[in-house]
Amino acid sequence: MEKILFAVQKSGRLNEDSVGLLKECGISIDTSKEQLKIPSSNYPLEVLYLRNADIPEYVQDGVADIGILGENVVVESEANIEILKKLNFSKCRLSMAIPKNVEYIGLQYFQGKKIATSYPNTTKVFLKKNNIQADIHVITGSVEIAPNIGLADGICDLVSSGSTLFLNGLKEVEVILKSEAVLVCNKKLSPEKRKMVEEICFRIETVLTARKKKYVLLNVPDENLQLIIELLHGITSPTVMKLARQDWSSLHAVIEEQEFWNIVGQLKKLGAEGILVLDIEKMVS
């Protein structure tokens, strides 16, 4: 039987969540990372531990069939690969930033200016689209220090909390790309491998759907049962069970976590008691 070659970042921000997601999908892999290629013990799959920045080319060339990496790297690489799914972790944005004491007059600020970045392709495409001609300096690390040492008038770099910009006296002025971890695959997979990739996508979807939902159990007085059922408009009709206590029922429902916070006050006002909120491990809709 063929094996899927799955590229995962060897070490760095994406590693733990990527390996964790595979495990939640029931795919066991050794995390020792001493070897580049490690077979799963219970699934026809081999994990290739690679640098995030190298994954687009490996997937494009078919050295790996599928992989998890930052969307920003997919865009920057301009590789001919397919994005299968956004994975809802490692969220960040690629932004332009300038010294905080400089007045920002809009994108025209960058006309004829020097911009330091590790993302020259994405930056060039953005500037061209906006008719801005600027001088791009490619730097591979510590881009945020470039304005302070007189190397550039602004930068284009990844931002998540914004503290790196703040600590370096910079302010974010334009977001040019929003990014998160994505699942990508080679565009010319054999029909057999395509089927295997679909199976992996199904498992990932099952895990991601479950992460957004909660299983809620609560005891409610029968006089308000109908009102509470209407509040809990979850994925399916809630389960209602009679309690030993007279005129009371137990309700079970699956709802979005945010929705739970929106309605918990109303549930209490309607007399709900013993409210339990549980994580769901997997959910097939």
Note the residues at the interface with ligand PRT (CB under 6 A). 9, 12-14, 51-53, 70, 72-73, 90, 92, 157-164, 179
Main-chain dihedrals φ then ψ at residue 222, nearest 5 degrees: -55, -30
Give the DSSP H/E element, type plus range, for residue 209.
helix 191-212
Query: Which C-beta is closer to ligand PRT: that of 127 or that of 156?
Result: 156
- CB 250 → ligand PRT: shortest distance, Å? 42
For residues 81 and 216, what is the distance between their CA atoms, to the nearest angstrom? 40
User: Nearest approach, Cβ of 74 to ligand PRT (angstroms)?
Assistant: 9
Identity of the residue, 20 or 112, whose beta carbon is nearer to ligand PRT in the bound complex: 20
Give me 194's structure tokens: 């395509």
Q: Which candidate, 155, 138, 156, 183, places its Cα nearest to that of 25?
A: 183
If the CB atoms of residues 119 and 260 are measured against ligand PRT, the closer one turns out to be: 119
Cβ 110 to ligand PRT, closest distance in Å? 19
* Stated length of the chain: 285
Using the CB atoms, write b or e for 239-257: b if 16+ within 10 Å.
eeeeeeeeebbbbbbbbee
| Contact by Cβ (8 Å): 203, 83 | no
Backbone angles phi, psi at 45, to 5 degrees: -150, 140
Select 90 or 186, whichever has its Cβ closest to ligand PRT: 90
| Distance of closest approach, residue 142 Cβ to ligand PRT, in angstroms | 8
Tell me whether residue 5 or residue 255 sits nearer to ligand PRT (CB atom): 5
CB of 147 to ligand PRT, least distance (A): 14
Q: In this structure, what are the phi and psi dihedrals at residue 142, rounded to the nearest 5 degrees?
A: 45, 45
* Shortest distance, position 37 Cβ to ligand PRT, whole Å: 17
Contact between 11 and 194 under an 8 Å Cβ cutoff? The reply is no
Closest residue to ligand PRT, based on beta-carbon distance = 70
160 or 266, CB closer to ligand PRT? 160
Q: Measured from the CB atom, is 6 or 43 closer to ligand PRT?
A: 6
The rounded Cα 261 to chain-centroid distance in angstroms is 23
Q: Please report how close the Cβ of residue 94 comes to ligand PRT at its closest, in angstroms.
A: 9
**Residues paired with residue 99 on neighbouring β-strands, in sequence order:** 170
For 68, the 3-state DSSP assignment is strand
